[in-house]
Structure 1
């Protein structure tokens, strides 16, 4: 009895190509791609997603096992596509860091820093809080399923073996960075208004009462009023961010 295993090399090559796209995306995703997440967990998630995606798109790969150069080109293309998907999702989270930095400065907490678990480096406390809250809400609202759907649909947009639309990708990257910075400013807009009005009020008070130590009075009041405003606008702030995240993912799926 003979068993035909001639299909195994092509299957193994297709698995590695799918794994290249998935792993490159997973390594950059919010929550999964953080530095404090063990590499084994990242690899396990990438392998699991690969086993799910491979049967759906195995026929999309036209692999010439006799040509090593074509396999290398396909591998590089798959890695680049995965990086684009993961980096775009990562950039969306930077909007919360921008908003947190502005809010902290307006509240008088610009000097309070802690280790940002999503970046592995020092960051402002308010920005770290917003980032962790944003990641939590992404999973709580099942928005991370959109990323898995984007990964699946990416094989329709970036078909294996086709030339990558570099112009569209560059446009997407530029728009993602600009939109993240713009959204950060929009999320922090109430605190920009508060900081302007509060500092003008302190300036007027200093002119009216020169003997008064405005700094020692203004800083506690700024922190107290800032936290009150923060509590009032936090729900709307995070709702706006989730809507923005969903919009970015849908924009990734409409490159063509």
Structure 2
């Protein structure tokens, strides 16, 4: 029998605020293709699962009548949102790399509906982003997120407040590290596009009467797709291997 039902509910909702704030922005779980009810019930189920593990940490602060519970809700939601944004920035970085990749190989087809979100995106970028997200799920990246949520109660205790400066520094460092990794992933295609266009420009100077754009574009796309075919496995491998260092390094 629960001795303090009101305190238990308050502690559960306090845990839900941090978990829900994280899942609200977490890649895959925050997808527009996933019904809102599933996302809500999933966050509630995980909150109920971690509450017994962190009962001595959450319950005394959540049930404290002196503490401002509304302030606690806001700070906990922001803390969870920062954890979710770290993972989301990393996945959005791959979409950025995919956009650069498609531009450099001349694959500028009309955008189609995104597989994950309700936005328009290039087909090749859709393919790479969806494959990368599937690899992260196969490698249980969500378990890393859940472990980070549990450990966050040690580094960012409940009721200790929210540090905006620290959160911005963390997100800025994540963006920097993500940009470096995604630039490394897209660098072969950037080099390929630059060299190809320089060579085509030289040919156009030698024979200006030839419509070089219409002749060269199929070769640019064909070579770029061959490069994607042979390099996508290495791209996904580097992407998956870099997720844990980027996330746990924050």
**Does TM-score exceed 0.5, indicating one fold?**
yes
- Asked if 1 retains the 8 angstrom alpha-carbon contact of 2:11 and 2:63, the reply is no
The structure-2 alpha-carbon separation of the partners of 1:195 and 1:5, relative to structure 1 and needing over 3 Å to count, comes to closer
Q: Distance in 1 between matches of 2:181 and 2:189?
A: 14
Which one of the candidate residues 69, 75, 78 is aligned to 2:76?
Answer: 78
In the alignment, does 2:65 pair up with 1:66?
Answer: yes
Cα deviation 1:178-200 (Å, max 9, x = unaligned)? 22233222211001110111011
Quote how far apart the aligned CAs of 1:224 are: 0.5
Quote how far apart the aligned CAs of 1:90 are: 0.7
Quote how far apart the aligned CAs of 1:20 are: 0.9
Counterpart for residue 204 of structure 2: 206
Q: How much is the aligned-residue C-alpha RMSD, in angstroms?
A: 1.7
Cα deviation 1:158-191 (Å, max 9, x = unaligned)? 1111133433221111111222233222211001
Counterpart of 1:55 in 2: which secondary structure? coil
Q: Distance in 2 between matches of 1:143 and 1:5?
A: 34
Deviates more, 1:117-126 or 1:183-192: 117-126
Counterpart for residue 38 of structure 1: 35
Quote how far apart the aligned CAs of 1:65 are: 5.0
Quote how far apart the aligned CAs of 1:28 are: 0.9
- Asked if 2 retains the 8 angstrom alpha-carbon contact of 1:92 and 1:245, the reply is yes
- Asked if 2 retains the 8 angstrom alpha-carbon contact of 1:24 and 1:82, the reply is yes
Quote how far apart the aligned CAs of 1:234 are: 1.0
Q: Distance in 1 between matches of 2:145 and 2:109?
A: 35
The structure-2 alpha-carbon separation of the partners of 1:143 and 1:65, relative to structure 1 and needing over 3 Å to count, comes to closer
Quote how far apart the aligned CAs of 1:212 are: 2.2
Deviates more, 1:121-130 or 1:11-20: 121-130
User: Which runs of at least 4 in structure 1 moved beyond 6 Å after TM superposition?
Assistant: none
Counterpart for residue 187 of structure 1: 185
- Asked if 2 retains the 8 angstrom alpha-carbon contact of 1:98 and 1:185, the reply is no
Q: Distance in 1 between matches of 2:184 and 2:93?
A: 10
TM-score, normalised to structure 1, is 0.91
Aligned pairs for 1:211-222 within 5 A: 211-222=209-220
Q: Distance in 2 between matches of 1:58 and 1:173?
A: 29
Counterpart for residue 52 of structure 2: 55
Deviates more, 1:214-223 or 1:180-189: 180-189
Count of aligned pairs between the two proteins? 248
TM-score, normalised to structure 2, is 0.93
Cα deviation 1:66-108 (Å, max 9, x = unaligned)? 34x6111211111111111111111111111111111111111
Q: Distance in 2 between matches of 1:153 and 1:162?
A: 15
Quote how far apart the aligned CAs of 1:64 are: 4.3
Q: Distance in 2 between matches of 1:117 and 1:25?
A: 21
Cα deviation 1:28-63 (Å, max 9, x = unaligned)? 111110112101110121011111100011111223
